[in-house]
Amino acid sequence: MKKYVYLLLILFAVIACKKEKWEPEGPTDVRVRNLQGNEILRDIVINTAGVRDTLGNVKKLGTINPGEVSGYKRVSIAYPKAEITARINGETFSTGPVNSTYMHYIGLMRITYEVYISNMTNKVLTVNNVILEEALIP
């Protein structure tokens, strides 16, 4: 009887030790840099999949002070453009939805989206640059 219990425990241990699925399109570790010189970006939410499947691609990044970067968040797929929303002085600013249909995915990388306010009146954020920092090693 003890043999069966040990075999069952080993079987559960093997099943529980799942590796993360690595595909050519991801995962990708993303973060955001606040290029705005005097505005704090609060309650940042990033959607890296655009109009495609959002499961695992919508992440909350918290608050970023001027000139600083958020921590990395892992998403299943990322593109050169992303939908980013943030609260600035109680108002919601956004890059707007992104259609990623014809974009090529970034892949197994660590990246930084650099964001600034391009239109204060219309509350528009713009991704200035996407920095490819380093490859993720599976």
CATH of residue 46: 2.60.40.2890
Higher pLDDT residue, 56 or 18?
56
Instruction: Report yes or no on 5 lying in a domain.
Output: no
Query: Could you tell me if residue 66 is inside a domain?
Result: yes
Report how many domains make up the chain. 1
**pLDDT tens across 46-71, in order?**
998 866 666 668 899 999 999 999 99
**Amino acid residing at 61:** L
- Is 46 part of a structural domain of the chain? yes
Query: Which tokens belong to 72?
Result: 């990395």
- Say yes or no to pLDDT of 78 above 70: yes
User: Which pLDDT score, from 0 to 100, does residue 26 have?
Assistant: 77
Distance CA 103, CA 77 (A): 12
Mean pLDDT of the chain: 86
Q: Which residues constitute the domain of residue 103? A: 22-135
Residue 38 lies in a domain: yes
What are the φ/ψ torsions at residue 3 (nearest 5 degrees)? -60, -45
Spell out the residues 6+ positions from residue 102 whose beta carbon is closer than 8 angstroms to its own: none
Stretch 30-38: mean pLDDT, rounded?
A: 93
Q: What are phi and psi of 137, to 5 degrees?
A: -105, 120
Higher pLDDT: 41 or 12? It is 41
What tokens were used for 59? 């992440």
Inside any domain, residue 14: no
In a domain, 7, yes or no: no
Q: For residue 16, is it within any domain?
A: no
The pLDDT tens digits for 93-106 are 999 988 888 888 99
What percent of the chain clears pLDDT 70, i.e. is strictly above it? 78
The answer to whether the CB of 138 falls within 8 A of the CB of 74 is no
Answer yes or no: is 56 within a domain: yes
